[in-house]
Structure 1
Amino acid sequence: MLTILGVPVVVLSGQLLLGVINGAFYALLSLGLAVIFGLLKIINFAHGAMYMLGAMVTVILFDVLGISYWVALFLAPLLVGCFGMLVEYFLLRRISGQDHIYSLLLTFGIALLIQGVLINIYGVSGMSYSMPEVFEGGANLGFMFLPYYRAWVIVVALLVCFGTWFVIEKTKLGAYLRAGTEDAQLMQGFGINVPLLVSLTYGFGVMLAAFAGVLVAPIYSVTPVMGSHILIVVFAVVVIGGMGSISGAIITGILMGVIEGLTKTFYPPASSAVIFLVMVVVLLIRPSGLFGKEA
């Protein structure tokens, strides 16, 4: 059997695939955080709860209304995004312009509230979501077996990440978003509805988290506490990439997933801490992150 550094190629390729999949989720989630912080300067500790809501809403829509995966893929993020816009309008807007600690504490409280309500209703036991029939099975690549759904997750996550980067960095809408957050009075003077732009931006960042939740539902067990488990890792990814850096969130998310997968192969005890170790090293060398701008 072919090996690399004493590890069978089949095992290594399997862990790399798992790392890329986790990296795709990290990229989507950290991208949403980067959009919200980079454009709105909000430290959104409710992001993990929105990710969890995306998965929970998908399961609920299927169980109660019999809605298919393809409908839920668009409907669940839209519903959670609308909920996020309501949170921004009624709560976050009230502390606009205040110190970052206020948004951190408020969103943390929102996350605990959402999680507590769903735990009371559904408990903490996992809920399952059936794999879409079209993605059942996989392809034998010779050196590894690639499940079709895992391939779909990687492709669609990368497309959404690239599309988001393109819209924010290369289009007129993205220019309006950046300008509106830098000088709201000037943009309002040109007839731009800045408060609406802020709500839409927050809602879109939340939608990215919910979209990741929909993608993860057929792979992992769906529970009300799943968001809190991944949130701290995603924040570490954002810090490594640079707070507010769109491209940094995408690249670092995928890279950290791969590094985590490789660590599970060669030294499993360190796999749960390797991302935080990388964060410490990066902050010591470059406090603004790999792709962040110096203050």
Structure 2
Amino acid sequence: MRGSLRRPPAASSRNRRGTSVLESLGGQIFNGLVSGAFYAMLSLGLAIIFGLLRIVNFAHGTMYMLGAFVAYIGAQSLGLNFWVALIASPIIVAIVGIILERTLLSRLYKLDVLYNLLLTFGITLFIEDAMRLKFGMQGSPYVIPNQLEGVVNLGFMIYPTYRVFVIVASLVVCIATWLLIEKTSLGATLRAATENPGLVRAFGINVPALITGVFGFGCALAAFAGVLAAPVNNVAPLMGDDIIIPTFAVVVIGGMGSIFGSIVTGFLVGVVV
């Protein structure tokens, strides 16, 4: 009789241990997906810029950092909320990217790719040093929006609502971008402009404007990722350095210029690493 009374607690203990292991494993996977979301969006922008323009943009991490800082400065100085920053920051950083492309990068298209790499590396050093002089090395927190505070019950675990939002938002942006490039007439025109610009120009299409727009769009993707990362990580001048090398690795593993490969590999690397 005594033995039969002792079994239920043992079974209950095993169930609790099993639930704890499932929650721990699920938490690690979802944390990896959050990191993968940032890798995917950044590598997507890099893949677009390299695949369509043949530019190795080492300043891509800097655009990610600028996106976070635009959101932070907007909140501190103008009282802009997260949702406004999520739209305004990519637009502002895209304009910065367009100016850089028109004034600097466009002069190097006929030269070896190494020159683009060196130029964008120099741009990175200049912008990072300027931000360090202004804001210092210490990171600054960015508050999670009220609508995304708290946790959500996923059935097998409890997880922060904001982090779930990051995963979903990145998936939506990545899939929408892939569809735009691969399944629309605009995407076909962009690909044709890189493969045979003379033919596209013969149809009256402004190829330089297309190239500039693609570079600006890639920078906007990086800035969007930066805004999403701001509440997860501190906003700091060197935050782009921490993510750009893994992002380049994702682009190489996924296939240089492969948009779909960059998206899938970004999430996989986030989970595995």
Residue 28 (structure 2) aligns with:
15
Residue 140 of structure 1: CA displacement?
Answer: 2.8
| Structure 2 counterpart of 1:245 | 258
Matches within 5 A, 1:1-295: 1-3=16-18, 8-260=21-273
The TM-score normalised by the length of structure 1 is 0.86
Query: Which amino acid in the other structure matches residue 236 of structure 2?
Result: T
Amino acid at match of 1:155: V
Deviation at 1:2, TM superposition (A): 3.6
Could you say which structure has the higher helix fraction? 2
Q: Point out where structure 1 has 5 or more consecutive residues left out of the alignment.
A: 261-295
Secondary structure, aligned partner of 1:14: helix
Q: Determine which structure has more spread, i.e. the larger CA radius of gyration.
A: 2
Alpha-carbon separation, structure 2, partners of 1:83 and 1:176: 24
Counterpart-to-counterpart distance in 2, 1:165 and 1:45: 22
2:58 alignment partner, SS class: coil
SS at match of 2:110: coil
Tell me, what secondary structure is at the counterpart of 1:238? helix
Which AA in structure 2 matches 1:175?
A
Q: Cα RMSD over matched residues?
A: 1.2
Larger relative contact order (CA 8 Å, sep ≥ 6): 2
Question: 2:246 corresponds to which letter in structure 1?
Answer: V
Pairwise CA distance, 1:26:
0.6
Q: Residues 91-131 of structure 1: CA distance to partner in whole angstroms, max 9, x if unpaired? A: 00000121110110000100111100000000010111111
- Aligned equivalents of 2:37 and 2:143: distance in 1? 21
Q: 2: CA distance between counterparts of 1:171 and 1:211?
A: 22
**Counterpart-to-counterpart distance in 1, 2:101 and 2:17:** 54
Cα distance between partner residues in 2 of 1:220 and 1:92:
31
Equivalent residue letter for 1:180:
A
SS of alignment partner, residue 8 of structure 1: helix
Counterpart secondary structure, 2:76: helix
| Inter-partner Cα distance in structure 1 for 2:54 and 2:225 | 22
Deviations, residues 47-96 of structure 1 (Å, cap 9, x unaligned): 00000000011000010011111110000000000100000000000001
Cα distance between partner residues in 1 of 2:47 and 2:90: 18
Distance (whole Å) between structure 2 residues aligned to residue 97 and residue 77 of structure 1: 29
**Distance in 2 between the 1:254 and 1:120 partners?**
34
2: distance between equivalents of 1:52 and 1:10? 32
Alpha-carbon distance, 1:247 to partner: 0.3
Q: Give structure 2 stretches of 5+ with no counterpart.
A: 1-15
The SS at the match of 2:143 is coil
Give aligned-pair identity as a percent.
Answer: 53
Following TM superposition, where does structure 1 have runs of at least 4 consecutive aligned residues deviating by more than 6 angstroms? Answer: none
Q: What is the CA–CA distance in structure 1 between the aligned matches of 2:242 and 2:119, rounded to whole Å? A: 19
Distance of 2:32 and 2:118 partners within structure 1: 32
